[in-house]
Structure 1
Amino acid sequence: MSTAPAAQLSFDELGTPLRDTTFVVFDLETTGGSANADTITEIGAVKVRGGRVLGTFSTLVDPERGIPPQIVALTGITQLMVTGAPRLATVLPAFLEFAAGSVLVAHNSGFDVGFVKAACERHGYHWPKPSVVCTVKLARRVLTRDEAPSCRLSALAQLFRIGTTPNHRALVDAQATVEVLHHLLERVGSVGVHSLEELLAYLPEVTPAQRRKRELATHLPSTPGVYLFRGPSEEVLYVGTASDLRRRVRQYFTASEGRKRLREMVSLAVRVDAVECAHPLEAEVRELRLLTAHKPAYNRRSKNQGGWWWLTLTDEPFPRLSLVRTPRAGAIGPFRSRRQAEAAQDALQDAVPVRACAQRIPARNPTGTPCALFELGRCKAPCAGRQSVEEYRPAVTALRDLVAGRDATPFRGMAAHLEDLSGAHRFEDAATHRDRLSGLVRALDRGQRLAGLAALPELVAARPDGERGWEFAVVRHGRLASAGVARRGVPPMPVVANLVAAAETVLPDDGPLRGAPPEETAVVLRWLDRPGTRLVHCDQPWTSPAASAGAWRGWVQRAEAGRDQYRITGH
């Protein structure tokens, strides 16, 4: 029984064509087999693109240690040959520069890349995480056992009758690997692998059944949007976004997805639905809403949607901070986890002298016993009648003013205390205090900015689409109410008028974000904050409070830049 051939990818689906991809094929010789215990003695590399050699890199390396006799016998590299050669600290940056922006190729790449990564870590260089192709893995994917019982470089060189014979010297072996790579690329081209993206995805774990499912993507448009994998009972298995729906979904059926749960998801999928979107912001927002609505089993974010945490002042004579799930006016947040909320609670109690205990204290004649915080000077014991409601009220007012951005005096007090700790050489305490203040500034700044956006009844913004057109968003109380585009040559203002007229009606509530989901409001705010975004219309001023936490962002950046100054112990 014959099967239909896989559909040929169209030109716009190819991604980065292999003929336009720059490969750096490299090989190492070392003092042994462990990247942590051994080091490099020789590096050889060939840069190729479209079958043409663009350059070569070859050098011996002084390993700064003896070369074992068995390695000398294998490679022919003796101690005398590497004496006087440049050391790895000199060679490594030159090799990284030679390979920059290219796809690395090696025969048994795990060995060679492992040594280079270990060298980067040892000598303080950033590993750029390039794409890597292993010709051993590619050969095992392409060649049958009968055709190639062994995938050693020498065996493949003999199989393909290449002109270079591997000899365990780095440059020669790299040149042989180049020829092997070209022969393997010819083979994968016959099965529909024409782009770098498909080549990187072409691994053994992909089953023929999964590849045949590429037809599930044939009806999808090449536009931005959201895709939904559906199972046999119409359940939504997975939700994702893409700038090109067809290309992205096809990758699931041509790639060996490293995550086991997504390989399982692909095997269960019977249909892929798509929601076309005007631009990436709309796609991201729709993805969030679909995740909330369907809670797909194979999206990790579905399992992390347990709601948000907030801090609020209790309604009693001596208010205290309380963790809640449902916010009300004046609440502090949002916080993704309880731990984040508790850290902010501790910082606020450092900044403002509100009580930390959870007991209810009557306004008159309290009969409690002062706790240890009273002894430490961190509480004035209203529970024992040593502080009246009137005497306690300024602390509550200070907290509310800090959260609302009306008065940042508590920040200044915390910063002054930090300097005192540093001046007293209490560096570990200073570091803890600094991190607590930085976290509080970030939390309040985020909450104030989200609340400021959510307070706006309507805002219209535009971004250039990169092709002399415009992307538009209508935002109401922090929610994306409408989205659209005006392509090059289309008058933009009539498009804006239509988007506003058709926008979703949003009825706010009295919470800090007027009922908008925090994650959606954050996505919209990031889009608005990107350079190049323009404000088209806003029906009331979009402002920040005069004493907002945002004014302390510079302090946080300076504190983080000098993170070690409070950890010096003088030893």
Structure 2
Amino acid sequence: TVRREPLPEPVGSVGSTVSIGPVSPRSTAQTVAQALTRATGLRSCTGRLGSRDDFHWCRPDNAVGGCMAATERPESVSDYLPRVCTALDAAHGRSDAALRLLAESVTTAALAEHFETAARRRDELAATVRVLGAAQRLRALCSIEQLIVARPGVSGGWRFAVVRHGRLAGAGVSRPGAPPMPVVDAVRAGAQTVVPAPDPLRGTPAEEAALVYRWVTATDARIVDTTDGFALPRGSACGWDAWAAAARSARTGNTRAGH
């Protein structure tokens, strides 16, 4: 979560409109938070700023763990704002600029022959892609007021699911050879009413949303009706899935070679 204050920092909680997750284990959440903080330049100092504070100033130093928003002079709210926008764009999938910066840090370390650093940065980026991609997939599903999906039945006919804000609100089955739309209409009419919450997943538990997402995106699934488009944002981390898969493969190969 990006804390709500004039000069925000990332914190380890969920539930706000700009949160990512939930993420487990906690070590992965910390890895992703640190990677995004480094890429976006959000402040990583532990001091809490008051509602009336209008500037931030951590002086640069060479110490490990220094503030990522350290500057030579005090930085105003307007100066700090681009950092926040970059972080929010990464969270919402509006831009992958932060991911590109993380990828550049991998390349820079490798070219300098700092191979352990490059491997660590590679693994951090792979984890970040996985976490952001999962969050953006579920956010896309849970933003849809109503989605009706059909999949073929085991013995013919169709299985239908009515999904509202990521929740399974209703389900039904049509018999082989029977007209399917009357079943769809009946399932839709009897589906549970879902009142969305203001958080990214509209109040739907992430585990439930993930199960529903896998069902409605199966290769044999067909969209019957939807109130909104079912799509990922242009700058989604999902565009980095191939990169992350290659990184995981490289890590697995190195681990086996080490044994």
What's the TM-score, normalizing by structure 1?
A: 0.42
- Does residue 315 (structure 1) correspond to residue 4 (structure 2)? The answer is yes
- Does residue 339 (structure 1) correspond to residue 27 (structure 2)? The answer is yes
The correspondence for 1:348, drawn from 28, 32, 36, is 36
- Does residue 555 (structure 1) correspond to residue 231 (structure 2)? The answer is no
Distance 1:519 1:380, change over 3 A: closer
**Structure-1 separation of matches of 2:55 and 2:10:** 22
1:521-540 alignment runs, 5 A limit = 521-540=209-228
Higher strand share: 1
**Structure-1 separation of matches of 2:11 and 2:65:** 22
The correspondence for 1:414, drawn from 99, 102, 105, is 102
- Does residue 496 (structure 1) correspond to residue 180 (structure 2)? The answer is no
The correspondence for 1:543, drawn from 222, 231, 235, is 231
| Aligned AA (1:416) | E
1:206-245 alignment runs, 5 A limit = none
How far is the alpha carbon of 1:516 from its aligned partner?
0.6
| Aligned AA (1:455) | S
* CA deviations over 1:96-121 (Å, ceiling 9, x no partner): xxxxxxxxxxxxxxxxxxxxxxxxxx
1:54-93 alignment runs, 5 A limit = none
Helix, strand or coil for the counterpart of 2:18?
A: coil
Asked if 1 retains the 8 angstrom alpha-carbon contact of 2:90 and 2:96, the reply is yes
How far is the alpha carbon of 1:332 from its aligned partner?
1.2
Distance 1:376 1:345, change over 3 A: closer
Distance 1:422 1:385, change over 3 A: closer
**Structure-2 separation of matches of 1:372 and 1:519:** 42
How far is the alpha carbon of 1:380 from its aligned partner?
4.0
% of aligned pairs identical? 37
**Structure-2 separation of matches of 1:365 and 1:431:** 36
**Structure-2 separation of matches of 1:471 and 1:349:** 44
The correspondence for 2:121, drawn from 429, 433, 444, is 433
The correspondence for 1:465, drawn from 135, 153, 156, is 153
How far is the alpha carbon of 1:378 from its aligned partner?
5.6
Distance 1:322 1:418, change over 3 A: same
How far is the alpha carbon of 1:338 from its aligned partner?
2.7
How far is the alpha carbon of 1:413 from its aligned partner?
1.2
1:5-404 alignment runs, 5 A limit = 312-325=1-14, 327-361=15-49, 363-364=53-54, 370=59, 379-381=68-70, 386-404=74-92
The correspondence for 1:405, drawn from 70, 73, 93, is 93
After TM superposition, where is structure 1 displaced by more than 6 Å over at least 4 residues in a row? Answer: 373-377, 564-567
Asked if 1 retains the 8 angstrom alpha-carbon contact of 2:150 and 2:223, the reply is yes
Distance 1:557 1:393, change over 3 A: same
What is the aligned-residue RMSD (CA, Å)? 2.4
| Higher deviation after alignment, 527-536 or 341-350 | 341-350
| Aligned AA (2:212) | V
Asked if 2 retains the 8 angstrom alpha-carbon contact of 1:427 and 1:566, the reply is no
How far is the alpha carbon of 1:460 from its aligned partner?
0.4
* CA deviations over 1:278-310 (Å, ceiling 9, x no partner): xxxxxxxxxxxxxxxxxxxxxxxxxxxxxxxxx
**Structure-1 separation of matches of 2:62 and 2:49:** 16
**Structure-2 separation of matches of 1:373 and 1:443:** 30
Give the equivalent residue in structure 2 for 1:129: none
Distance 1:467 1:318, change over 3 A: same
| Aligned AA (2:110) | S
How far is the alpha carbon of 1:334 from its aligned partner?
2.0
**Structure-2 separation of matches of 1:352 and 1:429:** 19
Asked if 2 retains the 8 angstrom alpha-carbon contact of 1:462 and 1:470, the reply is yes
* CA deviations over 1:388-430 (Å, ceiling 9, x no partner): 2222111111000111111111111111111111112211111
Asked if 2 retains the 8 angstrom alpha-carbon contact of 1:422 and 1:566, the reply is no
| Aligned AA (2:9) | R
* CA deviations over 1:200-258 (Å, ceiling 9, x no partner): xxxxxxxxxxxxxxxxxxxxxxxxxxxxxxxxxxxxxxxxxxxxxxxxxxxxxxxxxxx
What's the TM-score, normalizing by structure 2?
A: 0.90
**Structure-1 separation of matches of 2:172 and 2:38:** 47
Higher relative contact order (CA 8 A, sep 6+): 2
Distance 1:340 1:558, change over 3 A: closer
How far is the alpha carbon of 1:490 from its aligned partner?
1.9
**Structure-2 separation of matches of 1:431 and 1:439:** 12
- Does residue 483 (structure 1) correspond to residue 171 (structure 2)? The answer is yes
| Aligned AA (2:28) | Q
Distance 1:446 1:386, change over 3 A: same
Asked if 1 retains the 8 angstrom alpha-carbon contact of 2:58 and 2:69, the reply is no
| Aligned AA (1:344) | V
Give the equivalent residue in structure 1 for 2:204: 516
**Structure-2 separation of matches of 1:375 and 1:520:** 40
* CA deviations over 1:445-489 (Å, ceiling 9, x no partner): 000000110000000001111322111100000000001111212
| Higher deviation after alignment, 369-378 or 473-482 | 369-378
Give the equivalent residue in structure 2 for 1:448: 136
| Runs of 5+ unmatched residues, structure 2 | none
| Aligned AA (1:387) | E
How far is the alpha carbon of 1:372 from its aligned partner?
5.1
Asked if 2 retains the 8 angstrom alpha-carbon contact of 1:461 and 1:537, the reply is yes
How far is the alpha carbon of 1:554 from its aligned partner?
1.1
**Structure-1 separation of matches of 2:64 and 2:249:** 36
The number of aligned residues is 254
* CA deviations over 1:144-191 (Å, ceiling 9, x no partner): xxxxxxxxxxxxxxxxxxxxxxxxxxxxxxxxxxxxxxxxxxxxxxxx
